[in-house]
Structure 1
Amino acid sequence: MELLLLSIYSFFVWLIFIKFKWLPWNTVSQVIVITIPVISITALILILNIVAPSSDDVRVINYVVPVVPRVTGRVTEVPIEPNRPIKKGDVLFKIDPVPFELEVQAAEANLSMLRAKLLTAEANRRTLGEQLNAGTGQVQALTAKLGLLRIRSKQFKELAKSGAGNKFDLEQAEAEIAELGGQLATSVANAAQVKEKLAAKTAEGEQDEVAQVKAQIEQAESQLANAKWKLDQTVYYAPADGTVVSLALRPGSVASIMVTQPVMTFVEDAQWILAIYHQNEIRSVKAGQEAEIAMKMYPGRIIKCTVDSIMWATAQGQLPIGGMSTSAGVAPIPQNALAIRLLVDAKDKHLFLASGAHGIGAIYTDEGHMLHIIRKVIIRVGSKLDWVILKLH
């Protein structure tokens, strides 16, 4: 654009001073002729870089997801091909499910056994309750019978002293009292033992044996859920629409859960278009302003965009106050620069832009509308130059 303006200016200088000689071509006029374009173009560029800042570093960046299996196993199927479009939910690869199916079956069998054990424990608790009730009733019956025999024994004793009673009846009554006393002691001991077993309870009020079995059942259910989850992870699905690159996985190989060893690289279709600017160039840039970019993969084409936001945080803005810091953002940003995210307008929304595509761009602020046309011409001339390929090999 500067060359075009200089060419037009030179043409008029030639007409005025050389062709028609309307003004003398002397030292003074020569100094003025040279000074005017230098000052004018310098001022134009300085103002243009504020009201319509340009960037020669416009990047297309995609989210990249290293695919790492959640379980380790031998791969049985890889139904995809690299660099082919993949829809969300498509199968990326499958792992042999047999070991995980056996783990599920073992967990289910263990859970069934524990549930049967719980039924037995609850039945034992009911049996102990019934035993306690029967023992209590037996103690009461023996106590009443023993009381009656003691009364009768006292009567037999009084009759024997007076000579009106039979001494044999007294001895038989005393023998029965002794026998009933032994039975009563045994019944009391048995009832106390059953009562002690029933009294052994947890803080929640459940019998200790039942509580233990229920805790084992909860653990077994957790193990079964984990085994089923592992079985589900033997089939890995695409997390989003995208493309698989760096596909080294083949049937028969072992896929590992090591995060440092991804089996493939998944590139999502979701993209970021970033324009990199020096920090003092974005003083007038705001969200919603018009922008244009020209990508080298589409020579001569202008892509209309809108400013989405300014990335106000970069890795250079971090200090290791609370520990080691990591690089922030979706791509490294040069020193003393900030990235501005651009959104492609609806007209070019479905235009394919390869991840890593590079180009130039400009943002048209709310100031200096008369000068925006100059920047637009510069962008369009630059896009036309992308047709030129300077290579000798």
Structure 2
Amino acid sequence: MLELLLCSMLTIFPDYLYRRYRQGKRLGREITLYSVWFELRFGIIACLMLTVALITMIFYYHPSTSSATLYYRTIPIVPETSGRVAEVHLDFTAPVKKGDVIFRLDSSKQEASLLTAKRKIAEIDAAMLSAQADILKAEGQLQEAKGALQQATDELDVKRELQKRNSGIVPQRDIEKLQVAVDGRQGSLDAATAAKQSATTRLSALLPAEKASAEAAMAEAQVDLDKTYIRAGVDGRVEQFLLRPGDIVNPVMRSAGILIPEGAGRRALAAGFGQIEAQVLKVGMVAEATCISKPWTIIPMVITSVQDYIAAGQFRGGEQLLEAQNTVRPGTVLVFMEPIYEGGLEGVTPGSSCIANAYTSNHERIASGKVGAFKSFALHVVDATGVVHAMLLRIQALVLPIQTLVLGGH
């Protein structure tokens, strides 16, 4: 309507002035309701053509969309293991800090495993004390075997020396018995040495390895026990938390609730513009938005990111070929906008639906002096027509509560 009124001032109105003051035709006489088309046909045709061109230019260079939302990320509260809920530390809705316990699963099995691991470590510590006593015992047996061997060896040497001096004094049978005794004492010495070495190896290598394994098992049991305490990974707020003691949660099939990170949905506005405006939307463009949750307010914004891909064209490889006709909706160009001034989105509820405009600015191109006079004038016209869209946005912001509450039947 605004475009039509503006264009009529440049086409129909001059045509009427020409008919009235140049040709002398008057309203109600020559210019009547039935002769308006014939008398003002040139102005009407020019007005319609100019209106269509103006609307096309405004909507192309100053795109608008009603598909703008403050999206926010939610984090599912999911335990790493399945189990039955033993304790719930939060209500239906509550703020949480990073590391706070949200709920606890039944941990009787994990506590038993941890206790078993601790008992195993205590058992190994006792075995190490026993191994130290075994080493002392082996050392005593070794000394005893050495003494017995030395005694048998000395006696054998004496008998042999006597036999050398006088062969008839010492019978050969006694020397053979002593040799057998020396060999036996040597075997006892070797056995005592092996026993000491075995006890030493057990104390220095085997038992420490068993203790390390037991400590690893205890650490694993402690980790499993800690997993029964489900904690908040970030600062945020738990909403619609209906979990109660006795419920069974499963990390694959059933989550426990939703955690909304602090500040989620309060930084950027995501807006979907038409694909035909993809070449116009650029990072740094000035924009404006008005949201339902904060009526009668225009929020100055700037485009910070333009997504290079349209979501409607994505697909996953599978066992069926892609059929292009299945993509019914053409999809939009996703643009992220942030408020120009700090705190611009204060009071806007995350998830709120908004209306957004983006405005093309050619000021730098015109100021550079690299464009001709006609093109500079055309760029001025393009920038100036952004006022029309700004007025439309403010009219929409004005009537939005009325349209929602009164005309919408809410």
TM-based fold match above 0.5: yes
Cα separation, 2, equivalents of 1:80 and 1:42? 58
Secondary structure at 1:239 match in 2: coil
How do residues 1-393 of structure 1 correspond to structure 2 at under 5 angstroms?
3-10=1-8, 13=12, 17=16, 21-22=20-21, 30-71=40-81, 72-82=83-93, 84-95=94-105, 100-121=110-131, 124=134, 128=138, 135=145, 139=149, 142-143=152-153, 146-157=156-167, 160=168, 167=169, 170-171=170-171, 175=174, 177-193=175-191, 207=201, 211-250=205-244, 252-269=245-262, 270-271=264-265, 273-313=269-309, 316=312, 318=314, 320=316, 335-349=330-344, 351-367=346-362, 368-387=382-401, 388-389=403-404, 390-392=407-409
Compared with structure 1, are the counterparts of its residues 151 and 299 closer, same or farther at alpha carbon in structure 2 (3 Å cutoff)? same
Pair 1:334–1:213, CA change in 2 (3 A): farther
Write out per-residue CA displacement over residues 37-80 of structure 1, whole angstroms, 9 at most, x where no aligned residue: 33323333333344322222001211111212335243323333
- CA drift at 1:288: 3.2
SS in 2 for 1:305: strand
C-alpha deviations, 1:173-213, integer Å up to 9, x for none? 852x3343233222332344455667889xxxx94786443
Partner AA of 2:225 in structure 1: L
User: Structure 1 residue 379: deviation in Å?
Assistant: 1.8
Deviations 1:252-283 (A, max 9, x none): 32343433211212223412521112333122
- Specify every segment of 5 or more residues in structure 2 that has no aligned partner in the other structure, as ranges: 24-30, 321-327, 363-381
- Between the aligned partners of 1:89 and 1:234, the Cα distance in structure 2 is 14
- Residue 249 of structure 1 contacts residue 264 of structure 1 at CA under 8 Å; is this kept in 2? yes
CA distance in 1, matches of 2:138, 2:312: 74
Would you say the 8 A contact 2:8–2:47 is kept in 1?
Answer: no
Which AA in structure 1 matches 2:90? P
Looking at structure 1, the residues matched to 269 and 194 of structure 2 have their Cα atoms a distance apart, in angstroms, of 76
Secondary structure in 2 aligned to 1:258?
A: coil
Report the aligned-residue RMSD.
3.8
Residue in structure 1 matched with residue 369 of structure 2 by the alignment: none
1:320-346 deviation line (CA, Å, top 9, x unaligned): 45999xxxxxxxx96442311222344
Q: Which amino acid aligns with 1:302?
A: I
Aligned letter for 2:400? Answer: D
AA aligned to 1:363 is A
Residues 93, 236 of structure 1: 8 Å contact kept: yes
Are the aligned partners of 2:289 and 2:301 in contact in 1 as well (CA < 8 Å)? yes
Range that drifts further, 225-234 or 378-387? 225-234
What whole-Å deviation, never above 9, does each CA across 1:309-362 have from its counterpart, x for those lacking one? 2233465555545999xxxxxxxx964423112223444355143343212112
Considering Cα pairs closer than 8 Å and 6+ residues apart, tell me whether 1 or 2 has the greater RCO.
1
Structure 1: which 5+ runs fail to align? 161-166, 325-332
| Aligned equivalents of 2:149, 2:329: Cα separation in 1 | 93
Do 1:75 and 1:255's aligned partners in 2 also have CA atoms closer than 8 Å? no
One-letter amino acid of the structure 2 residue matched with residue 256 of structure 1: V
Range with greater deviation from structure 2 (270-279 or 115-124): 115-124
2:339–2:345 Cα contact (<8 Å) kept? no
Q: How has the CA–CA distance of structure 1 residues 50 and 207 changed in structure 2, closer, same or farther, with 3 Å as cutoff?
A: farther
Aligned-pair identity in percent equals: 21
Return closer, same or farther for 1:290/1:14 CA change in 2, 3 Å cut-off. Answer: closer
The letter for the 1-side match of 2:165 is Q
The SS at the match of 1:63 is coil
C-alpha contact (below 8 Å) 2:15/2:40 kept by paired residues: no
SS state at 1:287 partner: coil
